[in-house]
Amino acid sequence: MTSAYQNMTDAALDAALADLERQADDLRALNLKLDMARGKPSPEQTALSKPMLDLVTSETDLTDGGSSVDNYGDPDGLPSARALAAELLGVDPANVSVIGSSSLNLMYDCVENGYVHGIAGCKPWCQQGTVKFLCPAPGYDRHFTVTESFGIENVPVPMREDGPDMDVVRELVEKDPQVKGIWCVPRYANPTGITYSDDVVRAFAALKPAAPDFRIFWDNAYAVHTFAGEGEPLLNIFDALAEAGADNLVYEFASTAKVTFPSSGMAWVTASPSDMAELRRAFSAMRVSPEKVSQLAHVKFLKDAAGVAEHMRRHAAVVAPRFALVEEKLSAGLGELGVATWTHPKGGYFVSFEGPEGSAKAIVALAKELGVTLTGAGAPWPYGRDPRDTNIRIAPTYPSLEELGQALDVFVVAVKLVSARLAKAERA
């Protein structure tokens, strides 16, 4: 694709550049301080869960089934919390451990288990030379940071509109025994917002890994985070495994980080019975009991999957207009110019933006100059290396609609100016 700027005469391009520089100067003079960097719920959203804080009081019965909420015990979480967590993922509560408030922490612990203790009787990864994780990219930077922190080699895999490129995944997983895992966000992926198709989910379930200690890290972070109606369906990976006659292949994670309070929710992991037995052994050395008071409050507030869906409709009422504004501003500002594409998610927290080759770092830097913080260019790639320097993650949830509109206006100018400068540089 060639852009409007590339197609201009030299004089027209110079005029466009001069105009854009003036617009940038005007914006710079406003001393804006806006943030579209992180996937944080807005204050309007967290306020939706404040009623939860009234549900556990000094008068509350602090038992749950046979469990004491206020004392040690229940390393897998309260029975009611496990039931809710299981229902949300369509799995058996017996295979669920609800622990802590951070699913990222559980993912870290599962990587740690492979690295330090070893999976399924295999040697620990720390004794297997260089081991690798596949990182569909663009993806979630904190996933990649976990494996990078262990010195595991992060290998990028192309993302398509229906999930990771499964031909590439299959080739790597089935031929290379050093490949020990893959990071996946199967619904409303971070940052592209796409949902894996049934074919992709079935292709995952059908993998025949070269390494018996290979596991799919299935981070269903946005399992219930849809903007309208039922949202895009995701095939249950454990159903797909059963169909394929496979087992011991998937760790699935989820949390209420963006359902209730990001720092104070509940997080859980589920896997096959034998994988869970192994994880529980590892977890038993790590901690005594999970945060059961918080779990009780969550269960009283959210109740069940229907209660969660109702609550998420309230979130959607706040979030959907922000995503609509992204679509509107980008279409209006950039739609005719042929400089960029972006995704159109139906749920989740992000829009993934693709600018001209070699533009992303410059756009992020220019936006910063003009008062708008974006996620660092390259962050959604292993080691921060976007090979074409095109991808920018837009996180529209936290700012108010007004601030978001301003931030997007700045972003559009930054994209145009950088694109025009690139077109000019091509002619030099």
Smallest separation, CB 388 to its own copies (Å): 27
Binding flag, residue 243, its own copies (CB under 8 A) = no
Binding flag, residue 128, its own copies (CB under 8 A) = no
Contact between 189 and 352 under an 8 Å Cβ cutoff? The reply is no
Which residues inside 42-81 make contact with its own copies, applying CB under 8 A?
Answer: 43, 46, 49-54, 56-58, 60, 62, 68-74
Contact between 329 and 372 under an 8 Å Cβ cutoff? The reply is no
Nearest partner of 224 among 161, 310, 300, judged by Cα: 310
In the complex with its own copies, which residue's Cβ is closer, 110 or 137?
Answer: 110
Binding flag, residue 373, its own copies (CB under 8 A) = no
Overall residue count recorded for the chain in this entry: 428
| Number of residues near its own copies (by CB under 8 A) | 59
* Only segment of 41-49, 216-224, 319-327, 329-337 that touches its own copies (CB under 8 A): 41-49
DSSP assignments along 355-380, one per residue: -STT-HHHHHHHHHHTTEEEPPTTTT
Pick from 5, 13, 27, 41: which binds its own copies (CB under 8 A)? 41
Binding flag, residue 401, its own copies (CB under 8 A) = no
Binding flag, residue 142, its own copies (CB under 8 A) = yes
The SS3 call for residue 102 is coil
* Only segment of 14-22, 23-31, 37-45, 330-338 that touches its own copies (CB under 8 A): 37-45
DSSP 39: -
In the complex with its own copies, which residue's Cβ is closer, 114 or 355?
Answer: 114
Place of tokens 């796409």: 194
CA distance 241 to 259: 28
Q: What's the one-letter identity of residue 47? A: A
Binding flag, residue 145, its own copies (CB under 8 A) = yes
Smallest separation, CB 310 to its own copies (Å): 18
Residue 6 CB contacts under 8 Å (≥ 6 apart), including other chains: 423, 426
* Only segment of 38-46, 202-210, 346-354, 413-421 that touches its own copies (CB under 8 A): 38-46
CA distance 179 to 174: 9
- Using N-to-C axis directions, what is the helix angle for 401-427 and 360-369, rounded to 10°? 130
Q: Give me the 288-307 binding string for its own copies, x by CB under 8 A, dash otherwise.
A: xxxxxxx-------------
Nearest partner of 269 among 113, 382, 49, 72, judged by Cα: 113
Contact between 328 and 321 under an 8 Å Cβ cutoff? The reply is no
* Only segment of 18-26, 85-93, 236-244, 254-262 that touches its own copies (CB under 8 A): 254-262
- Using N-to-C axis directions, what is the helix angle for 401-427 and 10-29, rounded to 10°? 150
Pick from 22, 123, 280, 287: which binds its own copies (CB under 8 A)? 287
Smallest separation, CB 48 to its own copies (Å): 10
Give the containing element (helix H, strand E) for 269: strand 267-270
Binding flag, residue 162, its own copies (CB under 8 A) = no
Residue 368 CB contacts under 8 Å (≥ 6 apart), including other chains: 374
- Using N-to-C axis directions, what is the helix angle for 141-149 and 103-112, rounded to 10°? 30
Smallest separation, CB 158 to its own copies (Å): 25
Smallest separation, CB 107 to its own copies (Å): 10
In the complex with its own copies, which residue's Cβ is closer, 238 or 253?
Answer: 253
Q: Give me the 76-115 binding string for its own copies, x by CB under 8 A, dash otherwise.
A: ------------------------xxx-xx--x---x--x
Contact between 367 and 393 under an 8 Å Cβ cutoff? The reply is no
- Interacting residues toward its own copies by CB under 8 A: 38, 40-41, 43, 46, 49-54, 56-58, 60, 62, 68-74, 100-102, 104-105, 108, 112, 115-117, 124, 126-127, 142, 145-146, 148-150, 257, 261-264, 282, 284-294
